[in-house]
Amino acid sequence: MDRLAAIATEGEPAARLHDAIAALERGDAARSLHRHSATGMPTREPLIRQIQGDGGGVLGIIRFLDFDRLCVFDPSLGDQLLIAVAARLKAMLPAERLLYHVDRAHIAIWFGPVESAVLASVELGAIEYALGEPMAIGSHTIALKISTRLSELDGKEPATALTRALAQLSMATATADVAADGPAWDTEERERFAFEQDLRLAMAGGELRLCYQPLIDAANGRVFGAEALMRWNSPARGAVSPALFIPVVEATGLADEVGLWALNTAIREASGWRAKGLGDLRVAVNVSGHQLKRDDLPTLIDRTLRRHARPPEFLEIELTESVAVVDCDRASRLLAKIRALGVSVAIDDFGTGFSSLSSLRKLTFDKIKIDREFVADVDRRKDSQAICQSIIALARGLGIRVLAEGVERREEYAWLRQHGCDRFQGFYFSPPLEASTFAAFVRDGEALAEKLAVGPRAMLRSLSKSLTL
């Protein structure tokens, strides 16, 4: 960790960030950053790197179906259960099998290259059997409900492929009662078809909408815009997270339609803000990898702005770092055209792509959004501090604006502010809001001023407030 911190505070900003990220990639800092607190297993990022490194292979996923219910029943039970499951898996699987705790309710097994597909399905069957045996945990005996899935991943865009595999398992589970008995990947086409149908109906029936999360400029104490975030309230599936449905949209033929819908809706809804007296705010819209494949994206953006009579400075396009570096030459041409319109471009989830400083050099963009992973607990984690400091220094050196996303606590905000970051987004300031409540948030300057105040007095005020609640 000390080495990482040292690298990150010496030399040119760009070189520093590159070295800090390379050190992360080598795994020293990542080992503590990417381990699940209960099971000690590596988490999502190391899995993505493994898939990328192997160039594809077979992935097994185990989903704990009633995990949330168990945790409500007894919060400490969740961790104990995960520890017991991890021990059982480690005892029964060959030592070379790689286990990852992808998120709370999912464990993944990386079987490696596709030759092992048959072996993988045998092993996954055995795991399902073994985990079905009741477990004694404290004074409880628990019979776990799980579902499993095997997916073949080709190693391209592993993060998207992983999210898609998780989404497919979650959809298979939601439709388990109507699904056939065969292995999960036999039902893939049917699920995709059903999903596409649902989503088409959702678009037609107004089930998709956008929420707006305020973007804060601490230097002048005001909201300078909002990020449009998609929501799908499905009567059949409930509230589906965009993190789940966007990757599936990408895999179906709907990406263009949904992307255009979001662009058009965001610009239309946000063009009303000025008339409401909210000033010149800008709206940030997420653009997916699929949309970037279209040569006419700049024309579509231009046309949409004209249709709503908005100037180009009104819009910011957000593109994740991993998408931007996949086809860098293409991306750089397209981004240059978008910027030539006067629309600004932000690189989203910065720091998670690891690869990319040299490739990012080819791209021109206006803003970096530091990923939430490095913002969480930045006030007390040395490794995150080194990364954030490097990113802020890099951005300053290149004349690029920087925004920290996912700020949840005042201390995180205060640390970042003290270290030169002025733009923020996160639950600490506000969650994503309905279009109708966004205006009220912007108008409440006093509440924002209180959140923005740092220093001992402000800390004391907020502490005494929370004590009297």
Give the end-to-end CA distance of the chain in Å, rounded to a whole number. Answer: 39
- With CB under 6 A as the contact rule, the residue among 241, 358, 364, 418 that binds ligand C2E is 241
Assess contact for 344 and 366: CB atoms under 8 A. yes
287 Cβ neighbours under 8 A, 6+ residues apart: 259, 263, 297, 317, 318, 319
Q: How large is the angle between the packed helices 255-270 and 188-204, nearest 10 degrees?
A: 30
Which CB atom, from 10 or from 434, has the smaller least distance to ligand C2E?
434
46 interacts with ligand C2E by CB under 6 A: no
* Closest approach of ligand C2E to the CB of residue 284, in Å: 9
If binding is defined by CB under 5 A, does position 318 make contact with Ca ion?
A: yes
- # chain residues binding ligand C2E, by CB under 6 A: 20
Query: How far apart, in Å, are the Cα atoms of 438 and each of 215, 273, 332, 430?
Result: 11, 9, 33, 10
* From candidates 56, 155, 183, 242, binder to ligand C2E by CB under 6 A: 242
* Binding status of residue 406 toward ligand C2E by CB under 6 A: yes
Q: Which stretch binds Ca ion (CB under 5 A): 145-153, 233-241, 255-263, 342-350?
A: 342-350
Q: Segment contacting ligand C2E (CB under 6 A): 52-60, 123-131, 172-180, 235-243?
A: 235-243
d(CA 419, CA 385): 9
Can you read off the two tokens belonging to residue 441? Answer: 């948030």
In which residue are the tokens 């709907």 written? 254
Residue 312 contacts which entry, ligand C2E, Ca ion, none (Cβ below 5-8 A, type-dependent): none
Q: If binding is defined by CB under 5 A, does position 321 make contact with Ca ion?
A: no
243 contributes a contact to ligand C2E by CB under 6 A: yes
Distance separating alpha carbons of residues 151 and 59, to the nearest angstrom = 5
Least distance (Å) between residue 249 CB and ligand C2E: 8
Letters for 269-308 (x = contact with ligand C2E by CB under 6 A, - = none) are -----------------x-x--------------------
Q: Which of 427, 440, 449, 465 forms a contact with ligand C2E (CB under 6 A)?
A: 427
Cα separation, 276 vs 442, in Å, equals 11
CB atoms within 10 A of CB 425: 24
List of long-range contacts for 238-246, beta carbons under 8 Å, 24+ apart = 243/163, 244/163, 244/166, 244/167, 244/170, 245/167, 245/195, 245/199, 246/288
Per CB under 6 A, residues contacting ligand C2E are 213, 229-230, 241-243, 246, 262, 286, 288, 318, 348-349, 372, 406-408, 426-427, 432
Return residues touching Ca ion (CB under 5 A).
Answer: 286, 318, 348-349
